[in-house]
Amino acid sequence: MKLKSKEYLFEKDYGVWATRINNLFSELNQAPFEMAITKISCGETIKKHNHDESEIFILFQGSRLSASINNQTLVLNNGDMIYTDPHEFHEFTNNETEECILFSIWWKQT
């Protein structure tokens, strides 16, 4: 067992601060998936992008987060989860007064 206690290194990624969890444990280097924790401050947006992996997002902190998936807008509430298919464009905007924490995991379809 290994414990990482708030030793996260957040770096700018898609316009917001994020940490890639796989980088914290060498055992995850060969995992078939990657994970990240992203901080989205008030007024910030995860820039619109797409990629060839499937992805799941979970809003862990914050009351509401605006999501745009292929130009369809929806709102995530605390605890909500959303799945995106490969190549779907997605972006997230925090229009609220508190910071949001978004957890994501992505993988290539086999």
Kindly state the DSSP code that residue 23 receives in the 8-state scheme.
Answer: G
CB of 102 closer than 8 Å to CB of 65 = yes
pLDDT score of 9: 84
Give the residues across from 74 on adjacent strands: 67
Q: pLDDT averaged over consecutive 10-residue blocks of the chain (110 residues)?
A: 75 94 87 96 97 97 96 97 97 97 94
pLDDT score of 72: 97
Alpha carbons 71 and 107: distance in angstroms, whole number: 22
pLDDT score of 24: 83
pLDDT score of 102: 98
Alpha carbons 37 and 59: distance in angstroms, whole number: 10
pLDDT score of 6: 62
11-107: CATH number: 2.60.120.10
